[in-house]
A and B are shown apart, each in its own frame.
Chain A
């Protein structure tokens, strides 16, 4: 499979002159913008937030308004965040399950 998990899903089309915020995704340094949700911060870099517990397939949110619960993302300290309604903060270390290759 030639899928590249680091191909961005979301594309910025406005509001790009905001202060940068440094964080990590699966141990890799990344930069978001102040006011980004965790969902925006991750999906402007890559193609998934989590893997479904039953199918093992990638998920990247769906409703963006706190209803579908398909955007929960892990942190390296073991927390789980609802990515569409949590703002990115400097130093956040997020874990999307990209490297698990199967069940998250």
Chain B
């Protein structure tokens, strides 16, 4: 196939998408790069609006050199790609993506010959009574507020959940002068100690984590491990957090809570594209299958970065480049085979560290059994744990899409992005099944809500005044 016949489209301009675009450009292609954000960088290297003034070292800390390198690579590509910022993909079929440009509320279609899906991740969240109160945000959200808007989510903040982001965000907030009341980790110190050998396979990354924890401790931030979150308190906004530790119930006053339990892949687009999924025990999630190079089970569709499995930003850069090389070689272009093999080796070596992270910050599998019936699981449709349990008991629903049809869980605007993990745990607990057997919510177009007054580009006879 000639270069002219290739029409690659990349979805997502984070670390994976940018490196994929750079690789395609280096081989003489001009990919389309679609990104929901206004500026490239993804969530981790998210760039504030252009006229903001903080230095990269302030914004990204120890990741500043990686962030600036990625941004510089993107800036060098800008005129050599078809870049579509502020644009979300809401449907995919028959070689076309349906897109929506947010600022103009205009929808259009983008044809693709090949597709690299680099859709990234959001926080994996578990509900607790009071989690819908104003003042509760995800850990990633708390970080976005600080990085991209120069705002803190409150004046006295508790960070709660587990995972490396818990300590990183707490550190960033404390550094910015915010009163971090406490870090409440469901993992125990013994979990973290047991994981040390595996974590030492990536000594630099491990050292950063140790530094954040040490810094927080040295600056008097209360760090509690082995915590069971009980509730966020307040009527119309956050007033405090109640939790249990070592058999004692404690309450902390605060005006905001950042919550998260590691990350969750954004897989809806891969699902619409017909990629085959499999349950990945390490990620505790159903993920699109891919080979070591990033090929999905659908011809011409490649997967890279956290959207296909949470492996972190460095891995996303390598996987983006590797997937682009696979796309090129699959379509008759000469690529550097040694480089491709090198990238695959680096990705494969990360596996031990990734398993170590899961050991250090284990998912609190027992939360669902303790969740009270009145707990709101689905933020959009206000569906409670009790309704889910009753549905399972009364109707015999033992699979997620059946549960969705009967209770509307996961049917709201977020399509289960915030409640899907939790609803699966509640259903698995209620039906005494392992969580992988309850299945996963199927993605349905539109995978993001569309405005009712959306305009269609290039449609004769239609337009702003029609």
Residues of A within 8 A of B (CB): 1, 3, 5, 7, 9-18, 34-37, 40, 44, 47-48, 52, 54-55, 57-70, 72, 79-80, 82, 84-87
Contact = CB atoms under 8 A, between A and B. Distances in A.
B253 interface: no
B393 interface: no
A55 B377 CA distance: 13
A47 B380 contact: no
Contacts, number: 159
B237 A63 contact: no
Contacts of A79: 451, 453
Given A10-B145, A11-B155, A66-B36, A47 B140 contact: no
28 contacts: A1-B236, A5-B236, A10-B152, A11-B151, A13-B152, A15-B54, A47-B236, A52-B382, A54-B382, A55-B132, A57-B132, A59-B134, A60-B135, A62-B136, A62-B138, A63-B122, A63-B141, A63-B418, A64-B142, A65-B122, A66-B88, A68-B138, A68-B417, A69-B412, A80-B451, A80-B452, A82-B449, A87-B49
Contacts of B140: 63-65
Contact of B150 (A1, A14, A54): A14
B235 A3 contact: yes
Interface in B367-394: 376, 379-382
A10 B176 CA distance: 14
Given A3-B236, A70-B379, 6 more contacts: A13-B152, A58-B237, A63-B140, A66-B36, A69-B414, A70-B418
Contacts of A17: 53
Interface of A is mostly: loop
Contact of A36 (B123, B137, B149): B149
A40 B379 CA distance: 21
B237 A10 contact: no
Given A44-B151, A69-B414, A3 B237 contact: yes
B43 interface: yes
A19 to B, nearest CB: 9
B151 A40 contact: yes
Contacts of A36: 149
A60 B232 CA distance: 15
Interface in B45-99: 48-49, 51-54, 58, 86, 88
B151 A62 contact: no
Given A13-B178, A69-B380, A59 B43 contact: no
